[in-house]
Amino acid sequence: MLEDEEYFMLQDLAREQELATGKVNISLLARETGYDRKTIARHLSLDQPSKHPQTRQKPSKLDPFKPYIRERLNNYPRLSRVRLLEEITNLGYDGGTTILGDYIRQIRPNITIPAELRYETKPGEMMQCDWLEYPYETADGSKKKVYGLSMVLGYSRMRYVEFFPHQGLTALLKGHLGAFEYFGGVPDMILYDNLRSVVLNRKYPSTASEFHPLFADFRDHFGFTSRLCRLGRAKTKGKVERSIHYIKDNFLYGRTFHSLEDLNLQARIWSNCVNGKVHGTTNEIPFERLVQENLRPFASYPPYLLTKKESRKVSKDCYISLHGNIYSVPWKYAGRRVDVYVQENHVSIHADGNEICTHSLLTGRNERSKIKEHFEGLYKEILNESGSGSKRDRACKPTIDLHSVETRNLAEYDIFAREGRV
């Protein structure tokens, strides 16, 4: 069936032919237009273009899920096709991805991605590491945050993410241990941003920087080199930056969870899924490419204990020094030796096998953690000693001897006068 424009074109050709030859030659029109002779004859007999019958649209497997997809994209417009496919499959969808992708393109705008310069690393050469922050709202309406440690192997593009309630040094080290176990090994080098829990004093080259003592202990235990991004150049670690955006958009965006443990369980399932699919840049599956990384086997290292025990002597002013910072101790322990346990994000101080105080772990340098209760009673003790000292001082002060005056007879003075001795 001809479109309206084709119908009028055919009528014009027929009139021109009739004016020139006195008749209409259907065979000649068929050769000129390429249409079938019967089609031309039928349309020339019509006074107007034929009406196109309305095509009946077949029902689609996606139809029952379109309201759900529209609602999800209205609330979270950056949800990916893969994520939506996962969600509607759990709701009973058994159709393909093409029809889903076509529908998504119809109901949301395209998202532009800025161009970047890509740097490829050799197998086992580098892993990139950084934190992400994710605010969320609990069931009771209160607002909280979780912090995810994202780690990416540069060659295979293997991803790992683990979430914590804080970004402390111990969380950083626990995340490393989780990544090493998940990847099955340790890379030669790890690239960091200028994290406070990693570096205390940035120098050039970055390997000459002053690193946090606990981090340096961890690094030396596993024998990897720590490198720092150039200041203000977060794109230096572009792979983990892209991974963080992907985690936020593809995993966290629109997701619900009941606890930190639930979130990390979902994160492990998600990691297994994305690491088992073809990567858009390498066109290979990260799990398969991981074999070529030739990482140093994680199982070959002795276990690393995150709880560190150290011995310190309490100073006269009731402080201990630990990793460049000082922490107060109850005044009665001044001058004594105590055991210090560094665990999670706090410091626990023990004496005679018992915990005497705790502090939040300071991650900077030349900082002080003072608890005023540690000094209660000390000032009173000093005042008492000062008062008693004044009494002792008064008691010990030498007394002035009162010499008696000799009494003489006045006649003796007359004798002295005559002899000229007065």
Residue 1, SS3 per DSSP:
coil
Q: Which range among 62-76, 87-101, 173-187 has the greatest average pLDDT?
A: 173-187
Closest CA to 198 of 182, 214, 183, 186: 214
Share of the chain above pLDDT 90, in %: 33
What are the two backbone dihedrals, phi and then psi, of residue 329, each rounded to the nearest 5 degrees?
A: -135, 145
pTM of the complete model: 0.55
**Average of pLDDT values for 381-395?**
57
Residue 17, SS3 per DSSP:
helix
Task: Say how far apart CA 189 and CA 239 lie, in whole Å.
Answer: 15
Indicate whether 65 pLDDT > 60. yes
Contact 347, 327 (CB under 8 A): yes
Q: Which residues contact 200 (CB under 8 A, 6 or more apart)?
A: 209, 210, 211, 212, 324, 364, 365
Count of CB atoms within 10 A of residue 47's CB? Answer: 4
* Helices and strands counted in the chain (H then E): 13, 16
Closest CA to 354 of 378, 376, 332, 323: 332
Q: Which residues contact 285 (CB under 8 A, 6 or more apart)?
A: 275, 276, 277, 278, 279
> pLDDT digit string (tens) for 110-121?
555 554 445 567
Residue 386 vs residues 322, 333, 377, 389: alpha-carbon distances, Å = 32, 21, 14, 5
Backbone conformation region of residue 179, classed left if phi is above 0, alpha if psi is from -120 to 50, else beta: alpha
Task: Tell me what the pLDDT averaged over the chain comes to.
Answer: 81
> pLDDT digit string (tens) for 74-88?
888 888 888 899 999
Model confidence band, residue 399 (pLDDT cutoffs 50, 70, 90): very low
200 residue type, one letter? L
